[in-house]
Structure 1
Amino acid sequence: MAYYNCLLLDVDGTLLDFEAAEHKAFMETMEHFGLPAANETLEIYLDINKGLWAALEKGQIKRDRLVVQRFARLLEALDKQGNAAEMNRWYLDQLGTHADLMPGALEAVAELAETATLAVVSNGVEHVQLSRLKASGLDQYLDGVFVSERVGAEKPGRRIFETALRQLGIENRGKVLVVGDSLTADIQGGQNAGLATCWCDFKAAEDAPQPAPTHVIRSWPELYQIVMEPDELENLGNKNRKHQFEQVERTEQ
């Protein structure tokens, strides 16, 4: 059986290309509200948004306030009038229509689903993430989707991971791997929950990651070697393997 038989996957920057989706949705929002749809405006927004999400991870701001404050502060920076809450609603609706996949993610998830339980653990907005996961085709391979908005807990806190494991019925924590691109949310979060972690270093960072993850990958196919045992690697591409392994397990019990 697999070295890890349960993978808790991040979404943005891990499975889906959030930067591409964010760029499209933001520009569409600016155009809709008659604001400058320019890269300079996007940079202002990104700086504001990054600071607010960092505060969220530290428990310094609530999500419902964050998503409105980012546009309120943008309007202030641009010296423009507008309804920040309405802008946020429009932006999220647009964001939900963009499901840009990270290279190799769909193929890898389809393959890994043959040997492991796969679930999403995300700090995103639930209806946006559900829409994007469905549009990308990823949803068909997932055994669960756990979004902080519904769970009522954020990464890097351990409670969102504990909730996922409990609802998935996973008891052997030594076989669980948290996979994500954020050192502060995913890697620290996995460690807070006492789980092995895999950092998706898709941008090939030069500095040593802190906190240090259990594993590091720079492309999705590299995860096969970490998750699968030799006999499983030999069967890459074969379908219904998970079902076959479950039958073997029941026979041996």
Structure 2
Amino acid sequence: MSCNGQKKEEKIIEGDKKNSNVQNQQKIIAVDNLVSLTKINCQQENSDLPNYLINCKNFNVSNSIIEASDRNRYELITFVFHDIEKAIIRKINNEDLETSPPIVFSSKTDKNYIIFFPINGDSHFGWKLYFYKNKVLYPLGQRVMYWKPEHEESDLNYSDILNIYEADNNIIVEIPIKYVIENDNDYKNYPDYFDGKHYKKGDKVYYEFSTLKMEYYKKYKNGLFEGDYNKMINNKIIDLIK
């Protein structure tokens, strides 16, 4: 019986190895078949943070902080296109991770946009990633990362170190490992900022966000939420914020 049990255990181990190899191959395939997204040049008209206004080719983006009648604080980020006005609403009570003016990328069709909102801090950085498709703003995911100590005091610019790609219904953020503490355990202080698959290849680290089953809003355990303001109101997820 012990011999039979051992054979079963060996088969399980062999199966795990095969599954692991398949997963690794899928990761390598994803990384090797990347389509680079094009960064859109946007001009920043107002830099009186936390408020901003930037003008891009087909739209402009601005934000405002709302002290609402319900005593909550919100950030409203408005996108004005030629044919439609859309907005992201974020409930930001007690939120220490503030975003900066976004970096905008266009897809190969120039119809969809990836909006990358930097998150800035003393020792950490990260992003909120949005996908604009069919006139809906989808929150794809968010991530908090930590600078390696030698880069904490530097003036590194997100645009200088990151690349964003499309691959097999995924949006992938690529960052050189030399700048970041790559171990995910370092992010445990921000459990709500742990989205996206994470892996590395060579001297790069990759964060992968699926575009297959996107939702137009997110709600978090700490009571915060964000998403497409128009869709959330029309579907009675939230009331009009006054």
Q: TM-score, normalised by structure 1?
A: 0.24
Task: Give the structure with higher Rg (CA).
Answer: 2
Q: TM-score, normalised by structure 2?
A: 0.25
Higher relative contact order (CA 8 A, sep 6+): 1
Greater fraction of residues in helix: 1
